[in-house]
Amino acid sequence: MTEVRRVAVFLAVVVVALALLVGSASPSASPPARRSGAVLDASSSPRRGGTVYWALPPATTPDWIFPFASLQFFSVTNFAQFQYLMYRPLYWFGPPTSTSPNVDFALSLADQPVWSNGNRTVTITMKGWKFRDGQRVDAQSLVFWLNMMKAESSNWAGSVPGPSQFPANVRSYSAPGGPTGDKVVLNLNHRYGTKWFLYNELSQLQPMPEAWDVTSLKAAPGSGRCGAVAPGAMTGAATKAACAAVWRFDTDNNDTAKQPHMAGNLATYATNKHWSEGVDGPWRLSAFNAASGEATFVPNAKYSGPQKPTISQFVEVPYASGGAEFNALLAGAKTAPQVGYLPLADTPPKPAGQAMTVAGRNAPGLARAYKLVEFESWQISYTSENYRATVGAHGYAGSVFRQLYFRQVLQELVNQPGIISTYFKGYGVPTYGPVPVYPANSFLSTVERERGGPYPFNPPKAIATLRAHGWNVVTNGVSTCVRPGTAAGDCGAGIARGTPLTFKEVYTSNDKSLAQAVDYEVSEWATAGIQVSVSAEPIDQILNQVVPCYPSVTAACHAWDLANWGGGWVYSPDYMPTGEETFATGAGSNEGGYSNLLNDRLTVETNEHSSLGVFYEWENFLSTQLPVIWQPVLAGEAEVSKQLGGVLPINALGDLMPEYWYFKS
């Protein structure tokens, strides 16, 4: 994953996970498209019609309609909570019947992929659904996306550099039945694990209509020739030039050209026929307020999928703050959200001993009209250490962080259960490794399932470990190295005598609960003589500082010790929780510069093999190696009107599916 994608995902975590709906993935058989008996509430029957108001996360609004986005537009708000209502990805993840982030082939535009040639060839068969303008979602629709990706991968926030990552790992592709046929065949440059390729590569593809393959609003559909289906690799100079021109037109050259009516012109999102013709999902945009960000959707009467909307209108309502949204819930006016969120500041603490994933009592004034629901996103959380840091520890910070025993000490002084119960008011789940502990998923190994993980909170053990490795521990003072060297009882390579355990940490300033958790961790580290000074900064400033430095190392690479942006990593739209994008040597989002040859080898094996045993070997290794400091994840709290059915369960991806929602009669 590139630095571009890393920043965008982290922004989504910070902005959205604290409010409503974020996350993604894990494999199993797909459920039926309909909820069977689960669609209907046992106590009532649905009635058709009505308007549902849904609360956008605080201070966030959709601002990009074209489903090909660079950094500044690559967010959960734009994709899962806006575009996906209208424009479906090739494969749908997050079934309506489960909280787990699984693939759902019944809701996908294509059948389950078929592998051949020793897993070097994958055949995709489209189902023949239709866009609103009548064009079938066919081979050309998918080739249009593939050609665009090959030509403009630098402008797609999900692209990953390197020969084993998309799009470089696709050697060639073809449409055996022609452009209006249903089959697309991808020939890969290597054998890959079928599960990984589906969840982390095919998951990114999004067929696009010929109506968008143009360079002017008056041009004939397909005249741009970016979606041209030709023999061979289909990435020749002519195709690349055609795609570049189409991309510049549809995106306003990434919102710089300000071409009237195109992606940068929010005021025409609902009125430009260009965008409505490309709809293949269950909803179309009927109104969009460019000033406020309020979006109104109505059912797409030409939707080919299996679940037609019951409600007549779905409205996304923006709020300047969590407090403003909470007041709207309390007021209960006609336009109050039927689905909203409970800000942590207004959340009653969950009773001790209550199940981790079950909500406690609702806020006074809301319990009569709303049901409070806790949900978990497909996410891990962590604080990054900089393995190249020269700021703290008298310039030896990076050398200290490279010692596994010291990372274990830091982890054993993080009281995840205490943070969740005290500062998250019981609404949180721990992180014990690279795989989310919740929601339930088949990727989680026995090591991460252990209570407390490999390194549960244990201050006495942490202090003893420091002393055993050559440190003079001064509780609530500053511990120093008294035995430099590389022998078993020494401080470790690159650490000089007298090196103090003093560091600096930056964390995002947008959340009170995070500030409290950081202060608490600092106080626990101090009990072992580890002094960490902290500063709160806006998230964009933090992410500008915390940059990966591979292959070139600059002065900025050394200029920070610890960083906590309030999230960590959301697995979306790469749903299988592998580490090639975060913890592998040189990965675009490996901001701390962690490097381990065994981890790199195991990571490659998770991409090339489908066995969960291979995956567990990598997961267990990284859980115990601590490339970062694992932190708890703040869980979401949804407020769901008792008059509305079909909303539950909430999956872990953040995908909105109001086509399943209905008012109870």
CB 193 within 8 A of CB 606: yes
625 phi and psi angles, rounded to 5 deg: -80, -20
Give 170-226 pLDDT, tens digit per residue.
999 999 999 999 999 999 999 999 999 999 999 999 999 999 999 999 999 999 999
Strand ranges inside 461-516, DSSP E: 471-472, 480-481, 502-508
Give 417-434 pLDDT, tens digit per residue.
999 999 999 999 999 999
Q: What is the pLDDT of residue 232?
A: 53
Secondary structure, 3-state, 197-264: HHHHCHHHCCCCCHHHCCCCCCCCCCCCCCCCCCCCCCCCHHHHHHHHHHHHHHHHHHHCCCCCCCCC
Q: What is the pLDDT of residue 501?
A: 98
> How far apart are alpha carbons 534 and 563 in whole angstroms?
10
Mean pLDDT of 442-446: 93
Give 365-390 pLDDT, tens digit per residue.
999 999 999 999 999 999 999 999 99
- Token match 């509780």: residue? 475
Confidence of residue 233 (pLDDT cuts 50, 70, 90): low
Mean pLDDT of 440-452: 92
Q: What is the pLDDT of residue 336?
A: 94
Adjacent-strand bridge partners of 136: 130
Indicate the average pLDDT of the chain: 89
Q: Which of 49, 51, 53, 74 is nearest to 63 (CA)?
A: 74
Mean pLDDT of 94-105: 90
Instruction: Examine the pLDDT at 393 and tell me if it is beyond 90.
Output: yes
Q: What is the pLDDT of residue 4?
A: 32
125 phi and psi angles, rounded to 5 deg: -115, 115
- Token match 């355990």: residue? 501
Higher-confidence residue: 582 or 549?
582
Confidence of residue 6 (pLDDT cuts 50, 70, 90): very low
Mean pLDDT of 157-176: 86
Burial class (CB in 10 A: 0-12, 13-18, 19+), 94: buried
> Is residue 562 helix, strand or coil?
strand
Please, what's the b/e burial string for 476-492 (b: 16 or more CB within 10 A of its CB; e: otherwise)? eeebbbeebeeeeeebb
Cβ neighbours of 134 (radius 10 Å):
10
Confidence of residue 334 (pLDDT cuts 50, 70, 90): confident
Q: Regarding beta strands 103-104 and 92-93, do their DSSP bridges make them parallel or antiparallel, or are they unpaired?
A: antiparallel
How much of the chain exceeds pLDDT 70, in percent?
92
What is the CATH topology of the domain spanning 1-91+280-377+635-665?
Answer: D-Maltodextrin-Binding Protein; domain 2 (3.40.190)
Give the residue ranges of DSSP H helices in 50-89. Answer: 84-86
Q: What is the pLDDT of residue 5?
A: 35
> How far apart are alpha carbons 128 and 591 in whole angstroms?
43
> How far apart are alpha carbons 617 and 362 in whole angstroms?
42
Q: What is the pLDDT of residue 234?
A: 55
Mean pLDDT of 496-507: 98
Instruction: Examine the pLDDT at 142 and tell me if it is beyond 70.
Output: yes
Mean pLDDT of 93-105: 91
> How far apart are alpha carbons 104 and 655 in whole angstroms?
13
One CATH from 3.90.440.10, 3.10.105.10, 3.30.1130.10, 3.10.690.10 for 385-467+503-634 = 3.10.105.10
> How far apart are alpha carbons 316 and 306 in whole angstroms?
23
Instruction: Examine the pLDDT at 20 and tell me if it is beyond 50.
Output: no
Strand ranges inside 289-353, DSSP E: 295-299, 313-317, 339-341
What is the CATH topology of the domain spanning 110-258?
Answer: Dipeptide-binding Protein; domain 1 (3.90.76)
Q: What is the pLDDT of residue 284?
A: 98
Instruction: Examine the pLDDT at 341 and tell me if it is beyond 80.
Output: yes
Domain boundary assignment for the chain: 1-91+280-377+635-665, 110-258, 385-467+503-634
The one-letter amino acid code at 195 reads K
Instruction: Examine the pLDDT at 523 and tell me if it is beyond 60.
Output: yes
How much of the chain exceeds pLDDT 90, in percent?
75
Q: What is the pLDDT of residue 14?
A: 34
Instruction: Examine the pLDDT at 104 and tell me if it is beyond 90.
Output: yes
Q: Regarding beta strands 114-116 and 662-664, do their DSSP bridges make them parallel or antiparallel, or are they unpaired?
A: unpaired
Q: Which of 513, 533, 297, 515 is nearest to 397 (CA)?
A: 533
Q: Which of 168, 176, 116 is nearest to 142 (CA)?
A: 176
Instruction: Examine the pLDDT at 45 and tell me if it is beyond 60.
Output: yes
Task: Find the farthest-apart pair of alpha carbons in the chain and give their distance in angstroms, rounded.
Answer: 76
User: Token pair for residue 72?
Assistant: 């500044």
For helices 612-625 and 597-608, give the axis angle rounded to 10 degrees. 150
The one-letter amino acid code at 545 reads Q
CA 75 to chain centre: 8
The one-letter amino acid code at 532 reads V
Instruction: Examine the pLDDT at 260 and tell me if it is beyond 80.
Output: no
> How far apart are alpha carbons 39 and 27 in whole angstroms?
23
Confidence of residue 606 (pLDDT cuts 50, 70, 90): very high
Give 115-135 pLDDT, tens digit per residue.
999 999 999 999 999 999 999
Secondary structure, 3-state, 144-172: HHHHHHHHHHHHCCCCCCCCCCCCCCEEE
Mean pLDDT of 53-66: 93
> Is residue 141 helix, strand or coil?
helix
* Range with the poorest average pLDDT among 33-42, 174-183, 217-226, 537-546: 33-42
Confidence of residue 25 (pLDDT cuts 50, 70, 90): very low
> How far apart are alpha carbons 226 and 144 in whole angstroms?
6
CB 628 within 8 A of CB 382: yes
Q: What is the pLDDT of residue 231?
A: 59
The set of long-range contacts for 511-514, using a CB threshold of 8 Å and a minimum separation of 24, is 511/14, 511/18, 511/566, 512/344, 512/345, 513/344, 513/423, 513/424, 513/634, 514/564, 514/566
User: Token pair for residue 617?
Assistant: 């070997």
CA distances from 232 to 116, 143, 163 (A): 18, 12, 19
Confidence of residue 256 (pLDDT cuts 50, 70, 90): confident
Q: What is the pLDDT of residue 31?
A: 27
Cα of first residue to Cα of last residue in the chain, in angstroms, is 48
Mean pLDDT of 314-341: 95
